[in-house]
Structure 1
């Protein structure tokens, strides 16, 4: 019975709950970013690269020349699909950019909130308090 109690308290710690929340939000954010990359940015990049589909770029290690990646794989050739690496690097840079922009906007919002918060009234200084105490003691 103690095991389940300990396990439950472990799961309910703030750090674990925060981590689980971050993972779920991260997964959803990943879907949004992947859609932005695949559906919006890659077609634009394709225009600049002449319609090149990076995922279809490969080197056949057997020295033969194949029309496409599918043809090379069908022939059983060992292939190095460097285009997948290029695509992954592009995705990584774009995800990094999205995260940077998101965090920058978050920091700007926090700065605006801090600036909008009313300043706490300045209380008397330590010297002023000591002088008041001295004056009260002198009256007695």
Structure 2
């Protein structure tokens, strides 16, 4: 059974998957930073810094007026946090778009690398030297 497990782990697919998961986790940090630190501030310029995270409805419990979502949760109130959900959806769409663009770019680079060398089309250069000499010989024989 141990040998079967060793064979399973040694297969390329399992190792490839492990490497993919590790790189995927690191890539997630990069994409999250790209969205949080670069793209969201630019979007904030156009939307006037609108952040829906603190939009919520109190379902039960007492919350001071104007309290943040975090303060409402700390007060023990039951809240319907539609703003946090909306921001999560917006961030997901931004991240999905960025990943789509990155994958598209990688696919272009990969396709360019795999593209076979262009072979020049054959150009009809006319008869060869040998063909011309044969024609001359045949013409001389007939004369």
Name the CA shift for 1:13/1:40 in 2 (closer, same or farther; >3 Å). same
Instruction: Answer 1 or 2: which has greater helix percent.
Output: 1
- Partner secondary structure for residue 46 of structure 1: helix
- Aligned positions, number: 120
Shift of 1:42: 1.7
Name the CA shift for 1:71/1:88 in 2 (closer, same or farther; >3 Å). closer
Q: Residue in 2 aligned with 1:60?
A: 58
Gaps of 5+ in 2: 120-143
- Partner secondary structure for residue 55 of structure 1: coil
Name the CA shift for 1:94/1:23 in 2 (closer, same or farther; >3 Å). same
Structure of larger gyration radius:
2
What is the CA RMSD across the aligned residues, in angstroms?
Answer: 2.7
- Partner secondary structure for residue 53 of structure 2: helix
Q: Residue in 2 aligned with 1:111?
A: 111
Name the CA shift for 1:74/1:108 in 2 (closer, same or farther; >3 Å). closer
Does residue 69 of structure 2 align to residue 69 of structure 1?
yes
Q: Residue in 2 aligned with 1:133?
A: none
Encode CA deviations 1:79-99: one digit per residue, 9 max, x unaligned.
122222222212221222222
Decide whether the 8 Å contact of 2:57 with 2:81 is kept in 1.
Answer: yes
Shift of 1:116: 4.9
* Regions of 4+ moved over 6 Å: none
Q: Normalising by the residue count of structure 1, what TM-score does the alignment of the two structures yield?
A: 0.71
